[in-house]
Amino acid sequence: MAELERDLRGLAAVVDLPAERDLWPGIQARLVTRTRRPWLRIAAVVVAAAVVAIGVAFAVPPARSAILRFLGLEGVTIVRVEKLPPAAKGPGAVGRRVTLERAKHMLVFEPLLPDIGAPDAIYVDTSQALLTVIYGKRDVRLRVTELIAGSAPFTKIVTVEQHVEQVRVKDSHGLWIEGEHVVSGLFGEPELSGNALIWEQLPVTIRLEGRITKAQALRIARSFRPR
């Protein structure tokens, strides 16, 4: 090792090395540039990704329906279409017409009713554990459906321009759908529906539909309780 060190020292005496330069300013400039630019690039990428994600979500019907599902309504899907599919006014209810006391024995959950007087008809479909409550004799003015949250998924089909709004009913998530739309998965064949409020009052999902405004629907919804 001593001989190698001696030879290197001798070689250094005869090799013409370039003058020593101060490399720090150049290194510092590169470090500053590399430190700043990645943050700018990351910020730009984040903003661009957010814009693209929002654009895709509100332009593609499946993505938009996925957003509405994430609002906390188990088993409820909203699908936006350019034009509503063919559907007609359905039967309005499925199952057997029963009394409220009979419905309590047939269902696996306790029925909840609003504080708007006695209903005109009650139906229970035990195959879906579905309760339908009708207000109005000859002309249905209000229809309530109740089922265990997530037990029988159903779909609301609305137009792209239709107003769908997230709301709160008591302490629960809800959706207000304004205008005529199609509901599928509750009564067999798809059928037309009017203004509708959907929310969870666990363990059930409740759907309130009729010729009512959002304010009226929310006021009625807050009065639901076991009867």
Tell me the domain boundaries of the chain. Answer: 17-58, 74-226
What pLDDT was estimated at residue 139? 63
**Cα 92 from Cα 148, distance rounded (Å):** 19
What pLDDT was estimated at residue 185? 82
**CB neighbour list of residue 74: distance below 8 Å, 6 or more residues apart:** 149, 150, 200, 205
What pLDDT was estimated at residue 220? 95
What are the CA-CA distances from residue 218 to residues 37, 69, 176, 181, 193 (Å)? 51, 20, 9, 19, 18
Beta strands 76-81 and 154-159, pairing class: parallel
Q: What are phi and psi of 7, to 5 degrees?
A: -65, -40
**Cα 62 from Cα 59, distance rounded (Å):** 9
Element (H, E) at 200: strand 196-201
What pLDDT was estimated at residue 21? 55
Element (H, E) at 19: none
- The residue assigned the tokens 């998530």 is 173
- Asked, as a colleague might, if the bond just before 153 is cis with ω within 30 of 0, I would say no
What pLDDT was estimated at residue 178? 95
Per-residue confidence of the chain (227 residues) as pLDDT tens digits? 554 454 445 444 434 445 555 555 555 555 554 444 444 444 443 334 333 333 434 444 554 544 455 455 778 888 888 889 888 887 678 899 999 999 999 999 999 999 999 999 999 999 889 999 999 876 668 999 999 988 878 888 899 889 999 999 988 889 999 999 999 888 778 889 999 999 999 999 999 999 899 999 999 999 999 98
